[in-house]
Structure 1
Amino acid sequence: MLKNLLYAILLGVGMAACLADRDDAASGITSEEAIATEVTSEDAIPVPNPAEFLIAKGRVGSIRIGMPIDEMRQLKLPGLQLKDTTLRLEGQNYTAHVLSSDISPSGLVIEQQCEPTCQVWRLSIRDDDYKTAQGIGIGSKFSEVQQHYPIDYTAQGEAGFVAVSKAAGFSFVLDKDQLNKIQRNNLKPEDILANTLVKGILVY
């Protein structure tokens, strides 16, 4: 009697295993693949939305000029981390924020103004993953910039030597090592060599 009972139990277990294998086979998934899928889904690292790397007039991704800092902190941006930092401009320290990811560690620097509430004042591109819709970003040539954006003037500022496009709301920080050091303060857009590289972009 006991022997028959044990046999029935073992038979039931064996049939259940066969049915499970048959279901996996019918769905085209092996036991090893099912385990791998489960592990992968649990350990998956969030990937940033490509739209968050788009530079546009008055904004970069979801971060826009004039956005309240409290609203910015509430944004859900998978794969991106927001951290506070301190910038020193014109001899004074200012609170700012850095939005970065594993693929773009230099990220986006978000500067603020607090009058009286804190809002996004300026965005500084530090990583070459960020591009405009025309593909302009860090590493682009000045000639490529001019093809898409009218340059009103060039000047030396606290961020470096910049080429300013008022219509776009961008300042392109140029590689100072490619500029004439003696005439740098008097250089006009037509004086900048075509292959001068963009080292940063300011959105304001």
Structure 2
Amino acid sequence: MQCLSPTYRATAWAAFLACGLAACDSPTGRTPASSGSAGTPFEAGNTATDPAAAAQRLAANANVPDSLHLISPGRVGRLRLNQTEKGLLALVPVSQLTKTSYQYQGATYPAYEMRDAQEPSAPPTILEMDGSEKEGYRLRRIRIRDPQYRTAEGIGVGSPFGAARQTYGLTRVRFNEQDYVAISGTMRIGWILDEKSLPAKHSSDMSSADIPPATRITGVIVVR
């Protein structure tokens, strides 16, 4: 074996150490530090030492919907509030729609039950219109009972109320028409709550702090 001088050996060892440190700091070798901010509604600050928080994060990520089932302010999938009935019928195949009606403030308006093309047996989404025959009808409100539809944060039918409250900062819960609904003003979304999970002798206007976090969301209302 060729004998190396002490100077050469020292230089080579220093280069090896420098290379090893660079690898540890590379994008593929680096372990991200805990940011301390919650990436999901129930994620703890350090999931590396909190297996339960890590499991909750994975569950939330699994609930992130595809673009056709995404709930966002003023939109549900490809549907957007205030679009015309003509535009709606051009967007959704007639085979998925059943025409119906609903009552609002003593008047009757047209509505559609929309079946999901991927899961025809899922609860239909109700598309409520307003306007008049003379001026035409527009999409006013969307009622969802199908758990496939969720927000980008993974909140939807079946989620615990505590997740919605922590994520969207809800303040009041009110009886609205036929349901108890927690309203998120910034999202323009109402979360229909399972009334059987509410405290006994509850009022029609409650603080969200009085709602048990485990109360299930049974429906979602997207409004203008």
Q: Same fold (TM over 0.5)?
A: yes
Q: Distance in 2 between matches of 1:130 and 1:139?
A: 10
Matched, 1:140 2:159: yes
Partner SS for 2:91:
coil
1:159 touches 1:173 (CA, 8 Å); kept in 2? no
Q: Distance in 1 between matches of 2:91 and 2:205?
A: 43
Residues 145-175 of structure 1: per-residue CA shift (max 9 Å, x gap): 1121121321011140010100001010000
* Structure 1 counterpart of 2:101, from 78, 86, 89: 86
Aligned to 1:195: 214
Q: Distance in 2 between matches of 1:119 and 1:144?
A: 32
Partner SS for 1:146:
helix
Q: Distance in 2 between matches of 1:119 and 1:131?
A: 23
* Structure 2 counterpart of 1:112, from 122, 129, 132: 129
1:203–1:151: structure 2 CA closer, same or farther, 3 Å change rule? same
Aligned to 2:181: 162
Q: Distance in 1 between matches of 2:153 and 2:216?
A: 16
Partner SS for 2:213:
coil
TM-score by length of 1: 0.69
Partner SS for 2:86:
helix
2:109 touches 2:130 (CA, 8 Å); kept in 1? no
1:71–1:181: structure 2 CA closer, same or farther, 3 Å change rule? same
Q: Distance in 2 between matches of 1:164 and 1:136?
A: 14
Supply the AA of the counterpart residue of 1:113.
D
**1:1-204 counterparts in 2 under 5 A?**
50-75=66-91, 81-89=96-104, 92-101=107-116, 103-104=119-120, 105-115=122-132, 116-204=135-223
Supply the AA of the counterpart residue of 1:111.
E
Supply the AA of the counterpart residue of 2:137.
C
Partner SS for 2:170:
coil
Q: Distance in 2 between matches of 1:190 and 1:107?
A: 31
Q: Distance in 1 between matches of 2:200 and 2:108?
A: 29
For structure 2, list consecutive stretches of 5 or more residues without a partner in the other structure. 1-64
Displacement of 1:76 in angstroms is: 5.2
Rg (Cα) greater in structure? 1
How big is the alpha-carbon RMSD for the aligned residues of Structure 1 and Structure 2?
2.2
Partner SS for 2:190:
strand
Q: Distance in 2 between matches of 1:134 and 1:82?
A: 28
Partner SS for 1:184:
coil
1:77–1:52: structure 2 CA closer, same or farther, 3 Å change rule? farther
Q: Distance in 2 between matches of 1:181 and 1:67?
A: 41
Greater shift after overlay, 187-196 or 95-104?
Answer: 95-104
Q: Percent identity?
A: 27
Aligned to 2:18: none
Displacement of 1:82 in angstroms is: 1.8
Displacement of 1:186 in angstroms is: 4.0
